[in-house]
Structure 1
Amino acid sequence: MTEPDRSITDVWRPHVTVACVVADGDRYLMVEEEVNGRIAYNQPAGHLDDFESLQHAAVRETREETGWTVALTHLIGVHQWRSHEHGHMVVRFSFAATALSHDPRQPLDAGVRRALWMTRQEIANLGESLRSPMILMSIDDWLGGQRLPLSVVTSLTGGTAP
């Protein structure tokens, strides 16, 4: 027996996102943003665009949200979580990156109030103001030495790479 023909719009899809853990000594690059009328904190992060590689998305989102140009060094991990904010499943690719340069004149994405550098403890102290539990999870994975080569993430889309 064959499966009934289902429209592609009937197929469930998670939100695919990327994020960067950018460390400078014991401080990490963070974003203060307004989300649904409240202030929230996140790493530079965002959604994967159509025809875009995961690596390119991570570099692009970091630049758009912080004004920092970064170079990816490793994949830290892939995390799955159901957002309390919108109820959707999120699959997040977390990368480690090194800050290369900053353009203070770069306009930041809508809703982003500022980029700032914070210690892990300062980030943990934000509690419910953190946008997701994946923030501390990815920092702790990085601090624990979890580093996968970037070559484990491959794009066959013809999209751009960083």
Structure 2
Amino acid sequence: MSRFLPHVTVAAVVIDRDRFLLVEERDRMNTASSITVFNQPAGHLEADESLIDAVHRETLEESGWEIALEGYLGLYINTAPNDVVYHSHTFLARPIRQVSQTLDDGITGANWYSLAQVERLERTHRLRSPLVARRIRDALEERPYPLTLIRDLNHP
């Protein structure tokens, strides 16, 4: 019997007035294509790292932005086309300052997009996953949970 090992990830919905921070990256599911896709700053939780530390690190590495967390949007579970199950812990954030132009390998840029622009990317299948638009809609429609909802006994 094989073990079920979901991939634990973090993502930040970073809002500045009416714009959302998205990173543009090479499409990992279609490596032969030169098409890029858009995602929130996001990535895998590393060993011995808290969720909060991970979302700060990933946002900085992928976008060059330091952020302040406003709350926890929730746990989003999604099965990718390659059958990998992701457990994505998603946070609501606001930008503090851009500190770097050097971005992770595979990221071609980071920019601010209006909701209308995000919806256009969604219609043209340029979002990395259905989670991207869902997280933004949830951030606009729902109050985030307090960060104290996360009880990490390993990282007090």
Q: TM-score, normalised by structure 2?
A: 0.90
Distance 2:142 2:78 in 1: 22
Q: Distance in 2 between matches of 1:109 and 1:39?
A: 15
The residue aligned with 1:44 is: 41
Equivalent of residue 15 in structure 2, options 23, 26, 30? 23
- Match for residue 126 of structure 1 among 118, 121, 124: 121
Which residue of structure 2 lines up, in the alignment, with residue 103 of structure 1?
99
Q: CA deviation at 1:91?
A: 0.7
Distance in 2, matches of 1:125 and 1:143, equals 17
User: Structure 1 residue 140 and structure 2 residue 137: aligned?
Assistant: yes
**Secondary structure of the equivalent of 1:60?**
helix
Q: Quote the offset at 1:122 in angstroms.
A: 0.6
- The 5-angstrom pairing of residues 14-93 of structure 1 reads 14-36=6-28, 37=31, 38-84=35-81, 86-93=82-89
Q: Structure 1: how far apart are the matches of 2:8 and 2:85?
A: 9
Q: Deviations over 1:40-60 (max 9, x none)?
A: 100000010011111110010
Q: Provide the TM-score with structure 1 as the length reference.
A: 0.87
> Where does the alignment leave 5 or more consecutive residues of structure 2 unmatched?
none
CA distance in structure 1 between the aligned counterparts of 2:66 and 2:42, rounded to whole angstroms: 14
Q: Which structure would you say has the larger Rg? A: 1
Looking at structure 1, the residues matched to 151 and 104 of structure 2 have their Cα atoms a distance apart, in angstroms, of 27
Give the gaps of 5 or more residues in structure 1. Answer: 1-5
Give the Cα separation in 2 of the matches to 1:79 and 1:112: 23
Cα deviation, 1:57-96, whole Å, max 9, x if unaligned, reads 0010000001100011100111111012x32001111100
Q: CA RMSD in A?
A: 1.5
Q: Which residue number in structure 2 is paired with residue 3 of structure 1?
A: none
Runs of 4+ with >4 A deviation: none
Q: What is the CA-CA distance between 1:145 and the residue it aligns to?
A: 2.5
Describe the SS at the equivalent of 2:116: helix
The total of aligned residue pairs comes to: 149
State the identity as a percent: 36
CA 1:104–1:52 in 2, change beyond 3 Å: closer, same or farther? closer
Q: 1:116 maps to what in 2?
A: 111
Contact 1:77 1:138 in 2 (8 A): no
